[in-house]
Amino acid sequence: MFDSFLVVGSINIDYNVRVPHLPNPGETLTGKSFSRAFGGKGANQAVSLARLLRESKEKVFFAGKVGTDDDGKNARENLKINGVSTQFISNSENHTGMALIEIDDVANNRIVVVPGANGDCDENWAVATIQNYCKLKPSIKTCFLFQLEIPIASVEAAIRTAKDSGGTIILDPAPAVPIEKKLWSLIDVVTPNQSEAQLYTGVFPKTNDSAQKAALKFAHMGTQAVIIKAGAIGSWYFDEKEQWFCPAFTVKALDTTAAGDVFNAAFAAARGKDMSASDSLRFANAAAAISITGEGAQSAMPGYDTVKELLQAQPKIVPRQL
């Protein structure tokens, strides 16, 4: 279905602190450990895609901005090492983006993002980037992946330009911010988690019925398909023809920071291999489950064969049609 992938979004350096529990307001805690890791929802999705497609012919591109500091140089090099093309990354006079992440003993997390160079991804840059990509790949079937950690006006401009090129649009609406009403009809797949779904629809999806209600509201906004990510519960898929629920796979969770990013990448990769919606949902659930078994956003992102192994190891975890 897809010959190429372009991820447009954020690049961060994650500063991770492990704590016994997430601190209350005014509470001072002694952290158990500290580490730096590469992150940013955009970069995470690009790295995850590249690992899943490493043995395939599909090409993964990333577009974003970094500072000229060491963090920016290291982040760019990390993408290259993982097989992501960096030719659409621009330099900013601002510092490279960062995220301050607290992770407790049961893998719950709390994240504060400082945009830095990500905030300099303006509308002109976004439009020019998509246009330059399309000149490079004029006849390629492209899947465009977006998130909301760069300015929303830039995301909207990029989506409009990408849709004009005939590409498929997958939007991870995180962090949840108001989106132009007309834009929803340009989105092929929107992938909120439960909290994001509630912010956009007013419905918190925790059962099949409530998930269907939330998905229907997204459909009325204009989006073609809806995936709701519900962590340890599983995930739902809805479009005008199909409705599926897939339970979560059983793993030992250490760090859930990038689970949603891996899910999106894996779903896109699976659809790119012409898997059905239900098989893609199961594949994405498995990839996301594996990703939470290691520390750091990108450390446990799996390759294609690793995901297949989990699918074979837990054959009873399968999607159910609603």
For the cut 90, the answer to whether the pLDDT of residue 75 exceeds it is yes
**CB–CB of 242/278 below 8 Å?**
yes
Residue located via tokens 């350096």: 13
Task: Indicate the class that CATH gives domain 4-20+32-321.
Answer: alpha beta
Q: How far apart are CA 134 and CA 178, in angstroms?
A: 28
Residue located via tokens 């490493």: 54
Please state the pTM of the whole predicted model.
Answer: 0.92
**CB–CB of 257/104 below 8 Å?**
no
Spell out the residues 6+ positions from residue 153 whose beta carbon is closer than 8 angstroms to its own.
122, 123
Question: What are the tens digits of pLDDT across the range 121-142?
Answer: 999 999 999 999 999 887 789 9
Task: Note if the bond before 175 is cis, omega within 30 degrees.
Answer: yes
Question: What are the tens digits of pLDDT across the range 9-34?
Answer: 999 998 989 999 999 999 999 999 99
Q: Which long-range contacts (CB under 8 A, 24 or more apart) does 314-318 make?
A: 314/249, 314/250, 314/286, 317/246, 317/247, 317/248, 317/249, 317/250, 317/282, 317/285, 317/286, 318/246, 318/282
Answer yes or no: 69 catalytic.
Answer: no
Phi, psi dihedrals of residue 247, rounded to the nearest 5°: -70, 165
Question: Which pLDDT belongs to residue 128?
Answer: 98
Mean pLDDT throughout 56-76? 94
Q: Is 99 exposed, middle or buried (0-12, 13-18, 19+ CB in 10 A)?
A: buried
Question: What are the tens digits of pLDDT across the range 244-292?
Answer: 999 999 999 988 889 999 999 999 999 999 999 999 999 999 999 999 9
Measured torsion, CA atoms of residues 181, 89, 56, 297, in degrees rounded to the nearest 10: -80
For the cut 90, the answer to whether the pLDDT of residue 294 exceeds it is no
What does pLDDT average to over the chain? 95
Q: What are the sequence ranges of the domains in the chain?
A: 4-20+32-321
Question: Which pLDDT belongs to residue 322?
Answer: 96
Catalytic-labelled residue, pool 14, 255, 261, 279: 261
